[in-house]
């Protein structure tokens, strides 16, 4: 539908079986792109599904590659980009999807530990910066053109109690996206942010475990979060991974090429600006 044949994508944080990164990687492959997928290395990470995602992409007839790297470490990001270029020769689409684990940071600011705040900024903001820098340098060296998509959040547009570290990071991603879109526009490199609503990836299990008040277990908290998200959408359902994936495919295609700098909500109309 969006004809990404001949293009090469790199999607970070793609190891979750129910993750947004996996859904985006598969959708880009369905549209014809070859897709390198990244996550933290075994033993370090908290999602282990990268080999499965590679197999799923290959089953769609696309080429794929797993590249283990911490997006918040410059040397590892450089290696990730070099390995992708060695294998595929170019990167046309970068999707910065990796996100710090949701857990100890989901507390009131007065209880928020400095190291938990730092980890969220390190992965969600510095990681986006390092990956954008490395891939933008490559795109410029080969004469421009390309697309960068940064996964922000609806919590990057609206403050939410107990989400201060996360909101700060996701607001930052939108500002960074706009600045980079200004810088790279003249070279026809487009830069977008996507702001998804709540999605039932493994992440919300982690969130429910810390957000559950005394007397409510994590699964009941999870159900409550899902029910609220469902009822807040005029369309009557919560956001699904594929909703984000199809918007990513659109933004990666030439069908969206006059929208650079946009932050696109994908939350079923819960928020409308
Ligand atoms: P997820 O936890 O499955 O995805 C995040 C992935 O990033 C994980 O696989 C994790 O291992 C990886 N990761 C963490 N630190 C990393 C690092 N330093 N280097 C490389 N990879 C690292 O959860 P998800 O819901 O699929 O989230 C994907 C993105 O979407 C995140 O940026 C998240 O903030 C954002 N988001 C999620 C929701 C939601 O409700 N699930 C809503 C809006 C935005």
First-to-last C-alpha distance (Å) of the chain: 27
User: Which residue, among 154, 153, 155, 146, has the nearest Cα to 180 in the 3D structure?
Assistant: 146
Res. 9: pLDDT tops 60: yes
* C-alpha dihedral sign at 216, 200, 192, 264: negative
Amino acid 48: pLDDT: 82
- The atom number, within ligand 1, closest to the CA of 196 reads 43
Spatial contact of 61 and 88, defined as CB atoms under 8 Å apart: no
Asked whether the CA dihedral 251, 256, 259, 264 is positive or negative, the reply is negative
Active site residue 170: yes
Residue 260 region by backbone torsions, left for phi larger than 0, else alpha for psi between -120 and 50, else beta: beta
**What is the per-residue pLDDT for 8?**
98
pLDDT in tens, 59-84: 999 999 999 999 999 999 999 999 99
CA distance 51 to 37: 9
Q: Is 166 a catalytic residue?
A: yes
Angle of helix 164-184 relative to helix 114-121, nearest 10 degrees? 30
- Tell me the C-alpha distance between 2 and 233, whole Å: 27
Distance CA 128, CA 131 (A): 5
Give the residue-averaged pLDDT of 193-201.
Answer: 97
Q: For residues 139 and 185, give the distance between their C-alpha atoms in angstroms, rounded to a whole number.
A: 12
Cα dihedral value 202, 242, 168, 145, nearest 10 = 130
Phi, psi of 8 (to 5 degrees): -120, 130
Atom of ligand 1 nearest to the CA of 198: 40
Question: What's the confidence (pLDDT) of residue 46?
Answer: 63
pLDDT of residue 47: 80
Nearest atom in ligand 1 to the alpha carbon of residue 49 is 9
The pTM of this model reads 0.98
Is the shortest distance between the CB of 66 and ligand 1 below 6 Å?
no
Q: Looking at 2, 7, 126, 166, which residue is catalytic?
A: 166
**Buried b or exposed e, range 232-254, using 16+ CB within 10 angstroms:** bbeeeebbbbebbbbbbbbbbbe
CB 252 within 8 A of CB 6: no
**15 CA distance to ligand 1 centroid (A)?**
9
Q: Is the CB–ligand 1 distance for residue 156 below 6 Å?
A: no
**Are residues 98 and 132 in contact, defined by beta-carbon separation less than 8 angstroms?**
no
User: Can you list the alpha helix ranges (DSSP code H) found in the chain?
Assistant: 20-30, 50-59, 74-88, 114-121, 127-141, 164-184, 202-211, 218-232, 241-252
Mean pLDDT of 104-126: 97
Of the residues 126, 170, 192, 246, only one is catalytic, namely 170
Q: What does the pLDDT look like over 36-58, one tens digit per residue?
A: 999 998 655 568 899 999 999 99
Regarding the beta carbon of 15 and ligand 1, being less than 6 Å apart is answered yes
Cα–Cα distance measured from residue 130 to residue 264, given in angstroms and rounded to the nearest whole number: 22
């Amino acid at each position: 539908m969006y004809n990404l044949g001949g293009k090469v994508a790199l999607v970070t944080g793609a190891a979750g079986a129910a993750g947004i990164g996996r859904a985006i990687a598969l959708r880009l492959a369905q549209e014809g792109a070859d897709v390198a997928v990244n996550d933290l290395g075994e033993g370090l990470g908290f999602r282990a599904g990268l080999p499965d995602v590679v197999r799923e992409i290959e089953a769609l007839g696309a080429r794929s590659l797993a590249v283990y790297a911490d997006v918040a470490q410059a040397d590892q990001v450089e290696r990730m980009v070099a390995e992708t270029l060695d294998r595929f020769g170019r990167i046309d689409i970068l999707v910065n999807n990796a996100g710090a684990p949701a857990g100890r940071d989901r507390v009131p600011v007065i209880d928020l530990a400095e190291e938990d705040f730092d980890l969220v900024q390190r992965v969600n903001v510095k990681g986006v910066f390092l990956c954008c820098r490395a891939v933008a340098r490559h795109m410029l060296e080969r004469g421009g053109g390309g697309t960068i998509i940064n996964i922000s959040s609806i919590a990057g547009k609206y403050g939410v109690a107990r989400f201060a570290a996360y909101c700060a990071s996701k607001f930052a991603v939108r500002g960074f996206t706009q600045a980079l879109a200004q810088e790279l526009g003249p070279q026809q490199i487009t830069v977008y942010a996507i702001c998804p609503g709540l999605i039932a990836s493994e992440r919300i299990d982690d969130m429910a475990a810390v957000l559950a008040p005394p007397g409510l277990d994590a699964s009941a908290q999870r159900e409550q979060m899902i029910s609220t998200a469902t009822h807040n959408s005029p369309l009557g359902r919560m956001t699904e991974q594929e909703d984000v994936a199809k918007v990513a495919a659109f933004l990666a295609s030439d069908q969206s090429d006059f929208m650079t700098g946009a932050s696109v909500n994908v939350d079923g109309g819960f928020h409308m600006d």
